Chain A
């Protein structure tokens, strides 16, 4: 980026970002410095990409006019801790309104690809059209500026995410990679393809320790465009750590923000896996398609039980002191770590474990491994499978597909393998479409066409207003469980004021674990921007930009045909209230109706004028 102001809020046009537009059909490309329209453009990520998407009327995700936008955030590649994010945006093949129009979507992941991409000198790639043949794109720095090339990718066809990355590593040194798996290649039948992002750990060890941009099928959109992988090749351009950023980084690791995600050996909480123990105290760990049974079944995948059998390595993306990854290895006879099995983050572990009746750590690891290597979003995959299992439990005489039921590992493994290979469009197109075919929609656990995360909907009415997936684009998932808020005022304030700020992380290039409760509108972020770019920004400027970006996303949903009635939860929640969950029941129709009325009363007036007119 090029800065000729210190005041990005008042003079955004004095900041230019480098964008390369690639016409995949002709192979032509055009790099330009684009002036920022507002602070959202300066911050980047979805704050910028959604403005590009809002300029287009897209009626189906798989069309040449739907771009795939790959960008970074302002602090990606900086010395600020967790500054490693890459964003993939486009109209989603998976998330759609009841009218059948695709929703704008982004997904994001860490790993080192985003850092390398930033260091090539490019801030954004816009892929237009569709390549006639499979290709991969190489982005590299050069004395003349960033260079982008498309290369034939026939040798990558049919490989897993990990295998593609390892194959490319042999050709490109000093590079990092983003790759789809077989699922993304089978985009017609898999709408939730993910993008795997390489980590240093993966490239050094050869183990499939990737991070993923999973949500909303951006890997499938990449597959539709016939782009199988991206290579970012650059020398290391990290700036020397200043005392100011160093102080922030120490605060991130040692202060309130991320201490609880640190490894247990360092006095932390042990990553997101710790949610199992906490939610189980309320019998709110999803079991068998989001129907907790009030028993101790979820405890079988508690860390304390898993570590008796396996070695758990706490690992991190390069340079990150948070170390939030829990990687499960075989335990060798001498007690050392054997072969790598899978990562145990809370979401994949629950949704490909307890929530499909799998309580054996080795089996859960195998399913996560398959999901990652075929390149699927573990949330959408797991929840669509749990829908199938729930249907089969209700219809034993006429089950769906192979008749799998909760806990039937062999048949579930077969479902995942077949879906990853593009052979099971019933699962590959997600729970909304499948439930509309069966006619039994009440227990399909999606909101607005996107499967929910591993937090019971009974505990989170805020799911309804999340603009890009349940827990990471609306931070209300702990409002009842953690904060004990069951009154309507707290929920209106949470959704419309405090908890929407979580999406700021998906603009600026930082992980949410940088400071998940406070968001990006903090002195820590202000200090980083001053130190890294000499930008003078206030926390109020940041909060306003994040709010505008969020509301633009909401306005874009309405323009894509969403009706107010779709801002709701799966009907089973109130049709069959679950008596086992030990929390106040707030998700009754009356509460939701009042919440809808009051939330829209706040949001709607502010949404006016946020989207450009389109023909």
Chain B
């Protein structure tokens, strides 16, 4: 299946901003995070098609997965 991955902020460094990638059906968000080697402490928000989601959620063909860093006061 094809999933559009969007990375925000520092997650783009050494990776990409947006890419359509192929995954086996049944892939969950956690597997994508691991594949992209995004460190857990930095991960703040997971959006699937613009809606907040969790790392155990299963992706389906055509989804857009957006991974955002954590935000912390100012």
Chain A residues in contact with chain B, CB under 8 A?
255-256, 259-261, 264, 267-270, 272, 274-279, 281, 345-347, 350, 453-454, 471-472, 477-478, 481-484, 512-513, 516, 582
Contacts and interface: CB of A to CB of B under 8 A. Distances in A.
Given A275-B72, A345-B74, A482-B44, 9 more contacts: A255-B41, A256-B40, A275-B71, A278-B9, A278-B44, A454-B74, A472-B73, A481-B71, A484-B52
B69 A269 contact: yes
Nearest to B41: A259
A264 B10 contact: yes
A281 B52 CA distance: 12
A582 B9 CA distance: 18
A267 B39 contact: yes
Contacts, number: 87
Nearest to B53: A484
A283 B41 CA distance: 24
B25 to A, nearest CB: 25
A261 B72 contact: yes
B3 to A, nearest CB: 17
B50 interface: yes
Contacts of B70: 260, 269, 274, 278, 482
Nearest to B44: A482
Interface bin, chain B:
20 to 34
A275 B42 contact: no
B13 A264 contact: yes
Contacts of A516: 72-73
A260 B11 CA distance: 11
Most chain A beta carbons < 10 A, residue from B13, B69, B72: B72
Interface string B51-74: 110000000000000101111111
Contact of A269 (B10, B45, B74): B10
Interface in B35-49: 39-42, 44-45, 47
Given A482-B44, A482-B45, A260 B69 contact: yes
A256 B72 contact: no
Contacts of A582: 50
Contacts of B40: 256
A478 B74 contact: no
Nearest to B72: A516
Contact of B10 (A256, A270, A347): A270
B62 to A, nearest CB: 20
A269 B9 contact: yes
B45 A277 contact: no
Given A260-B41, A269-B9, A281-B66, A482 B71 contact: yes
A279 B71 contact: yes
Contact of A471 (B39, B47, B73): B73
B19 interface: no
A277 B9 contact: yes
A472 B74 CA distance: 8
Contacts of B69: 260, 269, 274, 277-278
A278 B8 contact: yes
Given A278-B8, A483-B52, A260 B72 contact: yes
Contacts of A454: 74
For the complex of A and B, list the 4 residue pairs with the smallest distance between their C-beta atoms, beginning with the closest.
Answer: A484-B52, A277-B9, A347-B74, A346-B74
Nearest to B50: A582
Contacts of A453: 74
Nearest to B52: A484
A261 to B, nearest CB: 6
A106 B74 CA distance: 17
Most chain A beta carbons < 10 A, residue from B44, B47, B51: B44
Most chain A beta carbons < 10 A, residue from B8, B40, B66, B74: B74
B71 to A, nearest CB: 4
Contacts of A472: 73
B9 A274 contact: yes
B1 to A, nearest CB: 24
Contacts of B73: 272, 346, 471-472, 477, 512-513, 516
B8 A277 contact: yes
Contact of A268 (B8, B42, B45, B68): B42
30 contacts: A255-B41, A256-B41, A259-B41, A259-B42, A260-B70, A264-B10, A264-B13, A267-B39, A269-B9, A269-B42, A269-B70, A270-B9, A274-B9, A274-B10, A274-B69, A274-B70, A275-B72, A277-B68, A277-B69, A278-B8, A278-B70, A281-B45, A281-B66, A346-B74, A478-B44, A478-B71, A481-B71, A483-B52, A512-B73, A513-B72
